[in-house]
C-alpha cells in the first residue's frame, strides 16, 4: 500500500506535540484549581448541559453531562446491547429491523436534534449509520431509538442535518458513489445522492443526484438550502484520482426548488424514490468551488455565512449563505476539519494536523483584516470534530467547547495497543481559550451536540402508563394457541413475574408478551432466559413481545437482570420444558417434595445444638 503524504504529516506533527500538556505538571496550583472549579459537579448536583456524542463504530449515542464529562447513558442504536436488553435475541423485533435494514452494527457520526422555530424542541435526535446507509431516530422523552430506516439508492450515509427552522425535512448525504443507472448497464458514471427524509414517517421523499463523494451536511437557517461538502469531483475510484483537482465543491441544494420539481413529476423514480437530476432540472443545485477535498461545512449562527473547512488546504472558505458567492478564504492552520461558534462573532476550527483549535473572528476574516486569528490552543491529539455549546444553533452559549480528539496517546494509563479517544473541555468564555479537563470515551465519537438540561427536564418522562399493547395486571395468562404454539401474557412488578411458572413442551414456540406494569421512573425489570439467548429489559409502561423455541427439555429459570429491589435476586420464575411425550402436569412438579436430608456442612440438621 502506498503511503500518502497526508498520513506522514500526521505522524510527524503528533510526534512533536507528544510532550505538550496544557494543564499538566507545569501548570500552577491555582490554574488547576480554577479549571477544576469550572468542571466540578458535586455529588448530588446536576450538569448544566446534556452532551450527545455519536458512538462511531460503537453504533450508539453516548450521553454525557457537561461540564463534568460524566457518562450518563449509552443509547444503543445500530448494535445489540445486552446491558439494555436491546436487540439481543434473533426474534427480537428490533433486532429483525436491524438485520433487515443492513446489519447488527453501525457507524454513527452525526447527531442532529429536531428543531421548532429554529431552536431545539427536545423531541428527536437523529443519527446516521455511515456503514449501512441508514438513519435512526431517538425519542428524547424516552432516550430510546424508535425508528431505523434504510435509505434507498444511497451508500455511505454520512453527514446529516435537519432543515431549519422546523425540521421540515432531514438531509442525509450519500458518501460512496454508485453507478448512476443502478447497475442496469455497465460501466456507468458514478454519482451519489443527497436524500431528503420526512422526519415523522422517516420515508425518503426525494433525492438529488450529485457528482462526488458527499461528506458533511448543514442547512441554512431559513430553510432555503442544504449544504454538503463533496470531495471527489474527479469521480475518482482510488486515492490518487480523488486528489487531482485543486478545487472540489460545496453543493447547495435549493430545497423549495427541488420540492417544486418533484411535485412537477421531474424525478426518476427508483426503489420508490424520485431522484432529481440537476442536468435536467437546472437551478436546484449550485456547486461552489472550494479547495481540494473539503470536509466540514458549518453555517454561522446568524445564518449569514457557510464555512467550509479545507482539510488538504490550510484555509477555510467563507461563503455568503444567500448569494452562494465566496467572500473570503483565510488561512487558519494545517488540516482544518470542522468549525463551531460562540455568541460573539468568533469561529473555532479544528486543525487535525496541527492538533489545535484555532479561534478566529468572522467579520475580520471577511474584511481581510490581518488580525483575524484570535487564539490557538493545543489539543491532545489530532482533533476531528469540535462543538461549542449551542454552536450549531442560532443562539450559542459561548461558554464551553468540546474537542473530540482521535488519538489520546500519553493522556491515559496505557491499555494495550488501542487507547481510548480523548475528549477535552475548553473554556471559551474569555478572549483566550483555557483547557479545563479531559475524559476518555470508547470508540469513537465523531461529533456532538448539546442541549440545556432545563430544556429536556419537563420532556423526559417521569411517570409511565402502560401502552395500548400492554398486559393488564390480573389478566396474565398462559394460552396454548396451537399444537406447538404457546403465548405467555406476563406482567412484571417488584419483585415478581406473573406467571412465575410456564409449562411448555419440547418443540413448542413460546411467545412472551410482557409488560412492566411499574409506573415510576427507573423501575426497570429484565427478563433473561438462560440458554435461549434471551435478555430483554423493560422500562416502566413498556411492553415487548418475543417468540423463542422452547429448546431442550429442562427447567429454565427466567430472572431479572436489572437490580430493582431488595428481593431482586428472588425475582424469577420457571419455564419447564417437558419432553414431547411427557405425561407429567406442572401441578405435579409443584407438589414434588424437596429432597430431605441435605444439610449445609457444619450446620446440624436436627436443631439439637446447645
Ligand atoms: S466526520 S471527524 Cu463523519 Cu468529521 Cu468524523
Ligand atoms: Cu426486577 Cu430486578
Ligand atoms: Ca478531490
Residue 17 pLDDT greater than 50, yes or no? no
pLDDT tens for 330-350 read 999 999 999 999 999 999 999
Average pLDDT over residues 72-92: 94
Res 526: pLDDT: 95
Res 12: pLDDT: 40
CA angle 198, 201, 205 (to 5 degrees): 40
DSSP letters along 362-418, please?
HHHHHHT-TT-EEEEEE-SS-EEEEEETTTTSSS---SEEEEEES--TTSS---SS-
Average pLDDT over residues 183-189: 71
CA angle 250, 130, 393 (to 5 degrees): 55
Residue 508 pLDDT greater than 90, yes or no? yes
Q: Is 165 left (phi over 0), alpha (psi -120 to 50) or beta?
A: alpha
Average pLDDT over residues 530-548: 93
Res 402: pLDDT: 98
- Ligand 1 pocket test: which of 109, 111, 335, 383 has the largest number of ligand atoms within 8 Å of its C-beta? 109
Cell of 169: 425535512
Average pLDDT over residues 110-137: 96
Q: How far is CA 44 from CA 40, 41, 521, 524, in A?
A: 12, 8, 18, 22
Burial class (CB in 10 A: 0-12, 13-18, 19+), 343: middle
Question: How far does the centroid of ligand 1 lie from the alpha carbon of residue 538, in Å?
Answer: 34
pTM of the model: 0.90
Residue 495 pLDDT greater than 90, yes or no? yes
Q: Which run of H or E residues covers position 144?
A: strand 144-150
Number of Cβ within a 10 Å radius of residue 107 = 22
Res 22: pLDDT: 52
Res 245: pLDDT: 93
Number of Cβ within a 10 Å radius of residue 290 = 26
- Ligand 1 pocket test: which of 55, 293, 337 has the largest number of ligand atoms within 8 Å of its C-beta? 337
Instruction: Give 417 or 50, the one with higher predicted confidence.
Output: 50
Residue 605 pLDDT greater than 90, yes or no? no
pLDDT tens for 582-599 read 887 766 666 666 655 554
Q: How far is CA 151 from CA 38, 55, 157, 563, in A?
A: 43, 20, 8, 39
Res 293: pLDDT: 94
pLDDT tier, 3 (very low <50, low <70, confident <90, very high otherwise): very low
Residue whose CA is at the smallest distance from ligand 2 atom 1: 525
Give dist(CA 528, CA 554) in Å, integer. Answer: 16
pLDDT tens for 419-431 read 999 999 999 999 9
**Which residue from 367, 448, 382, 469 is spatially nearest to 419, judged by alpha carbons?**
382
Cell of 393: 444553533
Question: How far does the centroid of ligand 2 lie from the alpha carbon of residue 460, in Å?
Answer: 22
**Which residue from 508, 499, 506 is spatially nearest to 558, judged by alpha carbons?**
499
Cell of 81: 446491547
pLDDT tier, 20 (very low <50, low <70, confident <90, very high otherwise): very low
Q: How far is CA 496 from CA 417, 537, 596, in A?
A: 45, 15, 27
Res 188: pLDDT: 76
pLDDT tier, 461 (very low <50, low <70, confident <90, very high otherwise): confident
DSSP letters along 442-507, please?
SS----EEEEEHHHHTTTS-SB----TTPPPTT--EEEEEETTEEEEEEEEETTEEESSEEEEETT
Res 600: pLDDT: 54
Question: How far does the centroid of ligand 2 lie from the alpha carbon of residue 530, in Å?
Answer: 16
Q: What is the DSSP letter of 84?
A: G
Give dist(CA 146, CA 378) in Å, integer. Answer: 39
**Which residue from 341, 335, 300, 288 is spatially nearest to 315, judged by alpha carbons?**
335
Q: Residues of the chain with pLDDT > 90: what percent?
A: 82
The mean of the pLDDT values for the chain is 91
pLDDT tens for 140-180 read 998 999 999 999 999 999 999 999 999 999 999 999 998 88
Amino acid at each position: 500500500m502506498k503511503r500518502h503524504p497526508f498520513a506522514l504529516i500526521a505522524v510527524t506533527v503528533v510526534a512533536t506535540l507528544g510532550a505538550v500538556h496544557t494543564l499538566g505538571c507545569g501548570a500552577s496550583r491555582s490554574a488547576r484549581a480554577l479549571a477544576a472549579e469550572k468542571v466540578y459537579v458535586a455529588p448530588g448536583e446536576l450538569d448544566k448541559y446534556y452532551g450527545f456524542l455519536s458512538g462511531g463504530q460503537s453504533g450508539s449515542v453516548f450521553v454525557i453531562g457537561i461540564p463534568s464529562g460524566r457518562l450518563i447513558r449509552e443509547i444503543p442504536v445500530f448494535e445489540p446491547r445486552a446491558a439494555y436488553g436491546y436487540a439481543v435475541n434473533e426474534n427480537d423485533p428490533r433486532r429483525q429491523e436491524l438485520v433487515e435494514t443492513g446489519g447488527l452494527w453501525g457507524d454513527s457520526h452525526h447527531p442532529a436534534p429536531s428543531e421548532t422555530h429554529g431552536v431545539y424542541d427536545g423531541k428527536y435526535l437523529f443519527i446516521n449509520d455511515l456503514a449501512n446507509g441508514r438513519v435512526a431516530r431517538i425519542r428524547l422523552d424516552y432516550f430510546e431509538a424508535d425508528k431505523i430506516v434504510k435509505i434507498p439508492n444511497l451508500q455511505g450515509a454520512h453527514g446529516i442535518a435537519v432543515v431549519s427552522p422546523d425540521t421540515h425535512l432531514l438531509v442525509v448525504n450519500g458518501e460512496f458513489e454508485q453507478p448512476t443507472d443502478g447497475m442496469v448497464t455497465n460501466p456507468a458514471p458514478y454519482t451519489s445522492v443527497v436524500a431528503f427524509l420526512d422526519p415523522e414517517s422517516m420515508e425518503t421523499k426525494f433525492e438529488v443526484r450529485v457528482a462526488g463523494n458527499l461528506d458533511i451536511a448543514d442547512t441554512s437557517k431559513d430553510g432555503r438550502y442544504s449544504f454538503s461538502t463533496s470531495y471527489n469531483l474527479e469521480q475518482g475510484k482510488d486515492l490518487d484520482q480523488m486528489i487531482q483537482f485543486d478545487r472540489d465543491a460545496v453543493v447547495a441544494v435549493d430545497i423549495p426548488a427541488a420540492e417544486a420539481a418533484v411535485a412537477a413529476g421531474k424525478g426518476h423514480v427508483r426503489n420508490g424514490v424520485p431522484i432529481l437530476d440537476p442536468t435536467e432540472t437546472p437551478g436546484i443545485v449550485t456547486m461552489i468551488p472550494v479547495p481540494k477535498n473539503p470536509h466540514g461545512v458549518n453555517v454561522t449562527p446568524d445564518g449569514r455565512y457557510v464555512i467550509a473547512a479545507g482539510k488538504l488546504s490550510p484555509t477555510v472558505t467563507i461563503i455568503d449563505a444567500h448569494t452562494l458567492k465566496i467572500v473570503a478564504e483565510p488561512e487558519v492552520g494545517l488540516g482544518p476539519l470542522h468549525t463551531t461558534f460562540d455568541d460573539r462573532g468568533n469561529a473555532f476550527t479544528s486543525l487535525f494536523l496541527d492538533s489545535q483549535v484555532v479561534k478566529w473572528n468572522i467579520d475580520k476574516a471577511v474584511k481581510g483584516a490581518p488580525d483575524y486569528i484570535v487564539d490557538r490552543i493545543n489539543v491532545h491529539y489530532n482533533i476531528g470534530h469540535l462543538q461549542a455549546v449551542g454552536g450549531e444553533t442560532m443562539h450559542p452559549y459561548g461558554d464551553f467547547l468540546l474537542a473530540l480528539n482521535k488519538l489520546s496517546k500519553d493522556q491515559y494509563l496505557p491499555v494495550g495497543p488501542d487507547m481510548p479517544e480523548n475528549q477535552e473541555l475548553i473554556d471559551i468564555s474569555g478572549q483566550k481559550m483555557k483547557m479545563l479537563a479531559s475524559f476518555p470515551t470508547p470508540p469513537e465519537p465523531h461529533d456532538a451536540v448539546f442541549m440545556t438540561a432545563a430544556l429536556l427536564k419537563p420532556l423526559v418522562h417521569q411517570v409511565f402508563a402502560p401502552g395500548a399493547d400492554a398486559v393488564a395486571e390480573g389478566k396474565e395468562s398462559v394460552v396454548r394457541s396451537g399444537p406447538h404454539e404457546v403465548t405467555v401474557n406476563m406482567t412484571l412488578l417488584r419483585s415478581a413475574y406473573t406467571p412465575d411458572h410456564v409449562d411448555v413442551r419440547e418443540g413448542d414456540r413460546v411467545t412472551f408478551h410482557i409488560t412492566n406494569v411499574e409506573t415510576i421512573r427507573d423501575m426497570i425489570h429484565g427478563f433473561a432466559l438462560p440458554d435461549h439467548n434471551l435478555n430483554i429489559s423493560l422500562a416502566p409502561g413498556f411492553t415487548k413481545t418475543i417468540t423463542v423455541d422452547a429448546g431442550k427439555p429442562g427447567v429454565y429459570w427466567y430472572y431479572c437482570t436489572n437490580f430493582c429491589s431488595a428481593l431482586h435476586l428472588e425475582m424469577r420464575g420457571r419455564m419447564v420444558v417437558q419432553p414431547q411425550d411427557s405425561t407429567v402436569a406442572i401441578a405435579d412438579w409443584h407438589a414434588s417434595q424437596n429432597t430431605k436430608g441435605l444439610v449445609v456442612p457444619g450446620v446440624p440438621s436436627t436443631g439439637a445444638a446447645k
